[in-house]
Structure 1
């Protein structure tokens, strides 16, 4: 009898879909934070490691690297509804957000000094909110935050009102395509139309949306989209700003004039090839993959709400207004961090709905913006599914939750003790 492998990582499936990166006896339900590398990305990156040339060099190896780079650019452009010349490769979603926001703001201010207003929403990712805060503190920007409704969506009426109020002072608008915490999808096309009518560029953080739902620059009408490879099964450290040729952006990095002069630095060909391959795999049959993921998610939601734990689902109802892989719950009477650790001990990896700053747990700014009570907001967890999620994983989470919730509630300090 042959010896069984000692590895705790699943082997490649017979279907050729590739290796799962989750432990065989555990559940990885945190794809929104980072999704495991797709086998297609691994193969593309492995091939790219064999290319010795710098894509900016003019000799034969350099030209081979340049061809590989431009093929990846063409692939990403096709999958994201853009021209190849509109794809600016970056080091990830945060850099893409920074380039989009700061670059558009500086370019617009250079055209007209009175353009100092940056409009975002209360529920944006910190890669956007912190950039806007920095622009306000050090660059003289006026930050305006739009409210969100009870499911975390931005209303076109709210944007229209803000655009009318601030007029020609508006430098840009930035609204995420889909919320990273609760999965609610914003009406991007309507928001883009309003911004365009006002002559204002709309930047969209599409990091959570790309690879799960149809995302396209031209179709959306946005000026710029930010995407991150590791959200759809590509490598960490690769991303792109999909930037319309109609809009000028001031560069953050200078040195070699790479990426339309907007992002100097030697191209990370290995990561870029992995990103392109992962995006191609994620969008090959997007409707079918999204439907399968939604069915798995819907089963998880039904099972969790049926446990009798008093859980509530946050965000839009399962359907067209919610990402297919997102299930975000509150478990009143718990501390989310405690519940997270108890589930982790049971082999379930998910994420908390709260952020920890200087060792003090604070409620999610997204949930608070939605009007969720602070104590309930602190008792929240996000389960996010992805390309290799399986029912065995969601079943494990459902089995582990009752004991975890009971223990988390018992461990929570009483009001008198606090």
Structure 2
């Protein structure tokens, strides 16, 4: 059997040592660590046999024909180099910002909950559910204030159904529909976090006043 792991969210956020791992295949995407969009990596452990994805050329050891995007590949390499530099110190700083954001939102917005393990997770992401309101509505109002967040994975961006992952975790339907994810990076500032903390209660309260599921 061959073991593949999707490490798109992990690379550049936590240390990885594939020489000490039993992973056969590992994929990552450049845009998740400030590299150009449209470039990625498929790590293949030596000895792992793969059928060609595209034939017609010798590129990438005969596995995928076509001219390589050299500028983006160089950009991804440099992004990985920068991400690995002082990663522990960067993670600690980002974690503090993430924790500050979480605690303030959970305190100021009743009927909200943190999704996932509070300790065993990436240092930069936070998924929070808000009862009785739509995640997409929260995002629209955040966008109005220039704040970027997401309501689910890119794989399910066209679906109106709540996250099947959150539902499998036991998150109630009314909360799973109102879940959003904040993803911080080493470039975020405390001022930006404070601004988001200021706007979130206003947004949640306004949407709950419009919600037919909230007792007036």
| Greater C-alpha radius of gyration | 1
**1:390 aligned residue:** 189
SS in 1 for 2:5: strand
Unpaired segments ≥5 residues, structure 1: 1-199
Is the CA contact (8 Å cut-off) linking 1:297 and 1:327 kept in structure 2? yes
Residues 1:262 and 2:63 aligned together: yes
- State the distance in 2 between where 1:264 and 1:218 align: 27
- Give the deviation of 1:353 after TM superposition: 3.6
- State the distance in 2 between where 1:356 and 1:410 align: 26
- State the distance in 1 between where 2:157 and 2:95 align: 30
SS in 2 for 1:218: helix
Residues 1:242 and 2:43 aligned together: yes
1:361-392 C-alpha deviation (Å, 9 max, x unpaired): 21012111212111210011101101201111
SS in 1 for 2:108: coil
2:135 to 336, 344, 349: 336
Residues 1:410 and 2:209 aligned together: yes
1:313 to 114, 118, 125: 114
Is the CA contact (8 Å cut-off) linking 1:314 and 1:329 kept in structure 2? yes
- Give the deviation of 1:414 after TM superposition: 4.1
- Give the deviation of 1:394 after TM superposition: 1.1
Residues 1:231 and 2:9 aligned together: no
- State the distance in 2 between where 1:356 and 1:290 align: 28
1:282 to 65, 83, 91: 83
**2:105 aligned residue:** 304
1:298-328 C-alpha deviation (Å, 9 max, x unpaired): 11111112214221100111x3x11000111
Is the CA contact (8 Å cut-off) linking 1:334 and 1:379 kept in structure 2? yes
SS in 2 for 1:381: strand
Is the CA contact (8 Å cut-off) linking 2:129 and 2:179 kept in structure 1? yes
Residues 1:351 and 2:150 aligned together: yes
**2:5 aligned residue:** 204
**2:14 aligned residue:** 213
Unpaired segments ≥5 residues, structure 2: none
Is the CA contact (8 Å cut-off) linking 2:109 and 2:204 kept in structure 1? no
- State the distance in 2 between where 1:333 and 1:215 align: 39
Is the CA contact (8 Å cut-off) linking 2:163 and 2:177 kept in structure 1? yes
- State the distance in 2 between where 1:232 and 1:328 align: 19
Is the CA contact (8 Å cut-off) linking 2:105 and 2:201 kept in structure 1? no
1:101-126 C-alpha deviation (Å, 9 max, x unpaired): xxxxxxxxxxxxxxxxxxxxxxxxxx
**1:366 aligned residue:** 165
- Give the deviation of 1:256 after TM superposition: 0.9
Q: Which residues in structure 2 correspond to 1:69-108 (within 5 Å)?
A: none
Structure-2-length-normalised TM-score: 0.93
Where relative contact order (Cα < 8 A, 6+ residues apart) is larger, the structure is: 1
Q: CA RMSD in A?
A: 1.6
**1:34 aligned residue:** none
SS in 1 for 2:122: coil
Q: Is the alpha carbon distance of 1:246 and 1:300 closer, same or farther for their aligned partners in structure 2, counting shifts above 3 Å? A: same
**1:120 aligned residue:** none
Is the CA contact (8 Å cut-off) linking 1:335 and 1:409 kept in structure 2? no
- Give the deviation of 1:217 after TM superposition: 2.0
SS in 2 for 1:351: coil
Residues 1:273 and 2:74 aligned together: yes
Is the CA contact (8 Å cut-off) linking 2:53 and 2:63 kept in structure 1? yes
Is the CA contact (8 Å cut-off) linking 1:217 and 1:223 kept in structure 2? no
1:5-58 C-alpha deviation (Å, 9 max, x unpaired): xxxxxxxxxxxxxxxxxxxxxxxxxxxxxxxxxxxxxxxxxxxxxxxxxxxxxx
- Count of residue pairs the alignment pairs up: 212
